[in-house]
Amino acid sequence: METDCTTDGAPVRRPEPLPAGTRLLHIGPHKTGTTSIQGALFAAKDRLPAHGVEFPAHTRHPMEAALAACARPAMIGDIVPTDRHWTTLVKQVEATGRRTSVVSSEFFADAEDEATVARIVRQLGGDRVHVLVTLRPLARIMPSQWQQYVQNGLRMGYEDWLRHMLRKAPYEQPTPSFWRRHGHDRLVGRWAAVVGPERVTVVVVDDRDRDGLMRTFETLLGLPEGLLQPVPDTANRSLTLAETEMLRNLNKEFRGNGLPDELYSRLVRNGAVMHMKNACSPTPRDVKISTPAWAAEAAAARATEMAERIARTGVRVLGDPALLAAVPASPDRAAVQDEARIAPEVAAQALYGALAAAAGAPVRHADPAKARTVHQTPSKELVKVLGHRCLKKLRRH
C-alpha cells in the first residue's frame, strides 16, 4: 500500500497529479465531504477548463444518474431514476474528449457487485477511470447517516438503529444500504477488483483540517491551490437531536396514516425540513446526536479491522488510516435527553415550510438563474404568494 500521511507531526507529502486525460470518479461514500466537494467543483465549473479539467455534469450532483447506474431506487417520493439519466451523464463525460474530467456522487458507493462496477467503469472510459474514495471515522458517520435516514422516512430511534447495525446479524435491517456504503474495506475491494489497486485512491478525511479535502482534489486534478472553495449550503447541514426526533415522530404519523410518498417528499423533506434547515441555524444550546459509548467503541473496532483490510488491497491511501478508528467525545447522555427540546421558532419554520410547499413550492422567476425553491425564498414573499393563492381559491368557490 502506498501511503502519504502525517507521522509524529511530519508534514504530509503531496500526491502526484493524476495523468492528463484521467476520468476521476469520486464515489463517496455518504457523509465524507461529498456535498462540499461537489459544490466547490460546480462553482468552479467555468474556470476548470483553463487548467485542462472538465466537470461534465450539468448539476452539482448527478444523483439520478448514479442511482440509475447502480439500479438503486430514488429517495422516498422523488423522481424515479431511469437509464436516460445515466446515458445523459455518460454522453457528457464522452464530450470531454481527451481532457481530464471529474464526476462525483456518493451514490456510486451503492453499486452492489463487481459486475455493476465493471459496467459503470467501462461506460465512463474503461482504463481511463481512476476511482477516488473518501473516508471518515465510522463513529462520526453513524449519527450523521442515521439522521439522514430519518429525513428519508426512517422511524427507528438512534440506539435501536445502532443495535440493528452493530449487534443484530445480518446487520441489514432497517437500512440495508448502510453497510453496502460503509463496509469501507468491501467497498474499496469491489472497485479495486475491477480497475486494479493502482487506479484507486483512498483519502482519509481529517476533520481538523477544514480545507484538506479541497487541496487534495486540487493536487490530484493538477489545479492551482485555492481554486476550489467551500460553498455555503445550509440545506446540507445535519439536524440536531431535537429536530431529528421531531421528524422521526412525524414519520410515524405519516406512515401510520398511509399517506403517499410523493406527499412526504414535497411537504416534509423538501418543504418542512428544507425550510427549517435554511431558516434556522443550530446554536450552542442545541443538542447534537451523540453515540453511546458501547456503539462508538464497536464502530471503532470495526473501523480498525477495515483499515487493515484496505491496507492489504494495495491501493494508495492519502492521510492517516488510524483516524478512521477515532471515537468522538460524548456528552452526558442522560443530561442530553433532558435538554433535547425543539425551540418554538424552529417548529414554526418547519410548519411554515410545509404550508408553503403545499401552496405551490417553487417561486418562479423569468430568469432561470434567479429561480428559487420555497426554502430559498424569504418568508414575507411566501406569505404573499400563499395568501394570493388562497384568495384565488376562495373566489372560485
Q: How many angstroms separate the CA atoms of 274 and 103, rounded?
A: 25
Least confident of 116-120, 172-176, 223-227, 355-359: 355-359
**Model confidence pLDDT, tens digit, residues 211-264:** 999 999 999 999 999 999 999 875 678 899 999 999 999 999 998 888 898 899
Q: Are 385 and 363 in contact (CB under 8 A)?
A: yes
Domains of the chain: 3-234+292-329 (3.40.50.300), 241-285+336-396 (no CATH)
Neighbours of 20 (CB within 10 A): 11
**Model confidence pLDDT, tens digit, residues 79-117:** 899 999 999 999 999 999 999 999 999 999 999 999 999
Residues near 388 by Cβ (< 8 Å), separated by ≥ 6?
none
Report residue 91 as a C-alpha cell.
454522453
- 34 pLDDT higher than 70: yes
**Model confidence pLDDT, tens digit, residues 361-397:** 443 333 333 334 444 444 445 455 545 555 455 455 5
Q: What is the mean pLDDT of residues 324-334?
A: 76
Strands 100-104 and 3-4: unpaired
- 28 pLDDT higher than 50: yes
Q: How many angstroms separate the CA atoms of 177 and 173, rounded?
A: 9
Q: Are 52 and 222 in contact (CB under 8 A)?
A: yes
Q: What percent of the chain has a predicted confidence (pLDDT) above 90?
A: 69
**Model confidence pLDDT, tens digit, residues 158-167:** 999 999 999 9
- DSSP per-residue string spanning 238-276: PPPHHHHHHHHHHHHHHHHTT--HHHIIIIIIIIIIHHH
Instruction: Work out the mean pLDDT of the chain and round it to a whole number.
Output: 87
Q: Are 216 and 15 in contact (CB under 8 A)?
A: yes
